């Protein structure tokens, strides 16, 4: 009889295998996923808010700057430093907000100077107050409206200001050419001084009711506030404008200034931020805006501002949530930084509880399935060995290798009985093979 033997591949010498690596790596998977989730949540989903932010404010002494100073005080109570950057006005504010190299992340913008297409990285937190276009003139005017400026020396605000941008837009719509009037680029304060001295004959300024220049000129003898007789037409042609009325005597009841009600039109100022401004800072700004602007004013009733309006730019998600349900729950009941810290912890715990926790229940099942699979595979190797062995000696050699492999196999304690049963079956096959080979050896 040919005593040559063939060693089946299935009974190879045990060594490092994919199953062993899997048995080692599976228990490490939950803590590894836990680390990844915590790192991603803390560094990407919920980074800490910055300790300081920067806001473009408008010209010195203007309404924008006064509003920004009040925001600064409110944010300082929560440990946030609001740095203020004076500018020429709304157009310069817009330029700084759109400049990726600028540190400015917050600014006040008047309606009508941009849109979502031109400023895709900016979002609105809502409108906060009216900015009427005030038309002050020395002495009595024969003509009405902007036509009264023909040939006059008039200030329309400096380059970069919202006043200049709006006035030039109105001039263009009425087809006024470059020689229509002698235009000066003075700030509100300088224009008021020049008008009082007689250096200019008229001043147009886009400003809130609280502007010091406006309040001064309303009470100055010899200075008249001019009404816009076609305010309805301006509002119809420019949807970002609103019609407002200053009642007679509102400037000075003792002097009855103005002597009659004056019709004006006004864009609304929007509190605007960069899209990437931290949500917690946006929430603080919205809270500050509510404290500063929610009271009644000369042109609006109480609680009208801040308003959930997207005049030029879309509202941020944080603003929509704020107007829908108010300040975040944690910030209503806890100090700001503690609320932020707990919020970050919740961001980590939610995926942890929702994803990682079930894995701690699933992984033992997966590990047990893998152990069962390895035992079943060794049974398959035993069957293949019985079928393919070329001689009893080859079969016995393969059984020895298979038993050695079974001895090295690591399974959970609950599957130890399956492993011992496998070894018993290997012994049964060996015994049967030895009995079958004994008569042949005797012959």
Q: What is the pLDDT of residues 417-429, one digit of tens each?
A: 777 787 788 788 7
Choice between 129 and 437, residue whose per-residue pLDDT is larger: 129
Phi, psi values for residue 360, rounded to 5°: -65, -20
Instruction: Report pLDDT for 301.
Output: 93
Where does the pLDDT of residue 219 fall: very low under 50, low under 70, confident under 90, or very high at 90 and above? very high
Question: What percentage of the chain reaches a pLDDT higher than 70?
Answer: 79
Per-residue model confidence as pLDDT tens digits over 54-70: 999 988 878 889 899 99
Q: Is the pLDDT of residue 439 over 70?
A: no
Instruction: Report pLDDT for 12.
Output: 42
Q: Quick one: which H or E segment has residue 345?
A: helix 336-351
Q: Is the pLDDT of residue 373 over 90?
A: no
For all residues of the chain together, what is the average pLDDT? 83
| 8 Å CB contact between 265 and 228 | yes
| 8 Å CB contact between 106 and 94 | no
> Which range scores top for mean pLDDT: 148-152, 262-266, 368-372?
262-266
Choice between 188 and 402, residue whose per-residue pLDDT is larger: 188
Helix and strand totals (H; E) in the chain: 15, 11
> Which range scores top for mean pLDDT: 170-179, 264-273, 325-334?
264-273
Instruction: Report pLDDT for 10.
Output: 43
CA distances from 164 to 24, 90, 113, 155, 203 (A): 72, 10, 11, 9, 11
**CA atoms of 80 and 281, how far apart (whole Å):** 8
Strands 122-130 and 182-184: unpaired
Of 91-100, 211-220, 298-307, 385-394, minimum mean pLDDT range = 385-394
Where does the pLDDT of residue 48 fall: very low under 50, low under 70, confident under 90, or very high at 90 and above? confident
Per-residue model confidence as pLDDT tens digits over 354-371: 666 666 667 667 767 777
Q: Is the pLDDT of residue 128 over 70?
A: yes
Q: Is the pLDDT of residue 41 over 60?
A: no
**How would DSSP label each residue in 215-276?**
HHHHH-TTEEEPP-TTHHHHHHH-TTEEEEEEPTTSSBTTTTBSSS-EEEEEEEEEEEEETT
Q: Which residue has the tokens 């000129």?
A: 217
Q: Is the pLDDT of residue 135 over 70?
A: yes
Give the mean model confidence (pLDDT) for residues 76-81: 92
- Reported for 233-237, long-range contacts at CB under 8 A and 24+ positions apart, including other chains, are 234/170, 234/265, 235/265, 237/173
Give the mean model confidence (pLDDT) for residues 38-47: 59
Give the mean model confidence (pLDDT) for residues 303-330: 87
Choice between 430 and 224, residue whose per-residue pLDDT is larger: 224
Q: Is the pLDDT of residue 148 over 60?
A: yes
**CA atoms of 84 and 58, how far apart (whole Å):** 9
Give the mean model confidence (pLDDT) for residues 436-443: 62
Q: Is the pLDDT of residue 102 over 80?
A: yes
Where does the pLDDT of residue 26 fall: very low under 50, low under 70, confident under 90, or very high at 90 and above? low
Per-residue model confidence as pLDDT tens digits over 155-175: 999 998 999 999 999 999 999
Q: Which residue has the tokens 């009425």?
A: 174
CA distances from 417 to 16, 370, 402, 413 (A): 24, 16, 17, 8
Instruction: Report pLDDT for 6.
Output: 42
**CA atoms of 422 and 50, how far apart (whole Å):** 63
Choice between 387 and 72, residue whose per-residue pLDDT is larger: 72
**CA atoms of 233 and 146, how far apart (whole Å):** 13
Q: Is the pLDDT of residue 14 over 50?
A: no
242 beta partners: 266
Where does the pLDDT of residue 246 fall: very low under 50, low under 70, confident under 90, or very high at 90 and above? very high
Instruction: Report pLDDT for 442.
Output: 52
Computed from CA positions of residues 204, 208, 209, 212, in that sequence, does the dihedral angle turn out positive or negative? negative
| 8 Å CB contact between 318 and 286 | yes
Q: Quick one: which H or E segment has residue 124?
A: strand 122-130
Q: Cβ–Cβ contacts within 10 Å for residue 430, how many?
A: 16
Instruction: Report pLDDT for 42.
Output: 56
| 8 Å CB contact between 305 and 269 | no
**CA atoms of 367 and 378, how far apart (whole Å):** 17
First-to-last alpha carbon distance for the chain, in angstroms, is 11
Give the helix, strand, coil percentages of the chain, each rounded to 5.
Answer: 50, 15, 35
Computed from CA positions of residues 209, 211, 214, 217, in that sequence, does the dihedral angle turn out positive or negative? positive
CA distances from 283 to 70, 74, 273, 321, 333 (A): 16, 12, 12, 9, 14
Q: Is the pLDDT of residue 44 over 60?
A: no
- Tokens describing residue 18: 């994919």
Give the mean model confidence (pLDDT) for residues 138-154: 83
- Domain map (residue ranges) of the chain: 9-39+354-442
Give the mean model confidence (pLDDT) for residues 35-60: 75
Choice between 2 and 51, residue whose per-residue pLDDT is larger: 51
Instruction: Report pLDDT for 43.
Output: 56
């Amino acid at each position: 009889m040919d005593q040559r033997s063939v060693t089946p591949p299935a009974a190879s010498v045990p060594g490092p295998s994919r199953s062993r690596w899997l048995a080692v790596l599976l228990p490490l998977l939950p803590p590894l996923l836990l680390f990844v989730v915590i790192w991603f949540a803390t560094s990407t989903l919920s980074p800490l808010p910055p300790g300081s932010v920067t806001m473009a404010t408008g010209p010195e002494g203007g309404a924008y700057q006064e509003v920004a100073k009040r925001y600064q005080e409110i944010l300082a109570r929560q440990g946030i430093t609001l740095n203020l950057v004076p500018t020429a006005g709304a157009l310069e504010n817009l330029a700084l907000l759109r400049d990726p190299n600028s540190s400015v992340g917050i600014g006040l913008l008047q309606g009508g100077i941009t849109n979502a297409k031109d400023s895709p990285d900016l979002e609105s937190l809502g409108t906060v107050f009216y900015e009427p276009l005030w038309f002050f003139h020395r002495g009595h005017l024969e003509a009405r409206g902007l036509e009264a400026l023909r040939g006059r020396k008039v200030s329309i605000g400096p380059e970069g200001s919202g006043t200049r941008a709006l006035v030039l837009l109105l001039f263009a719509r009425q087809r006024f050419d470059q020689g229509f009037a002698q235009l000066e680029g003075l700030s509100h304060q300088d224009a008021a001084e020049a008008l009082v001295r007689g250096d200019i004959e008229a001043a147009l300024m886009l400003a809130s009711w609280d502007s010091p220049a406006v309040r001064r000129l309303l009470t100055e003898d010899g200075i008249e506030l001019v009404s816009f007789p076609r305010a309805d037409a301006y509002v119809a042609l420019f949807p970002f404008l609103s019609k407002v009325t200053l009642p007679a005597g509102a400037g000075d009841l003792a002097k009855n200034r103005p002597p009659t009600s004056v019709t004006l039109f006004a864009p609304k100022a929007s509190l605007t931020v960069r899209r990437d401004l931290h949500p917690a800072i946006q929430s603080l700004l919205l809270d500050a805006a509510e404290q500063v602007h929610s009271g009644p004013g000369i042109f609006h009733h109480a609680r009208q501002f801040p308003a959930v309006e997207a005049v030029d730019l879309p509202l941020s998600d944080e603003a929509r949530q704020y107007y829908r349900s108010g300040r975040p729950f944690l910030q209503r009941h806890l100090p700001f930084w503690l609320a932020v810290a707990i919020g970050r912890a919740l961001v980590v715990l939610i995926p942890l509880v929702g994803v990682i926790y079930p894995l701690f229940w699933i992984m033992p099942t997966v590990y047990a399935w893998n152990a069962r699979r390895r035992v079943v595979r060794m049974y398959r190797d035993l069957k293949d060995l019985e079928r393919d062995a070329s001689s009893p000696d080859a079969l016995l050699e393969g059984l020895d290798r298979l038993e050695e492999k079974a001895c090295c196999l690591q399974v959970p304690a609950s599957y130890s009985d399956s492993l011992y049963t496998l070894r018993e079956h290997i012994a049964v096959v060996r015994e049967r093979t030895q009995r079958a080979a004994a008569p042949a050896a005797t012959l």
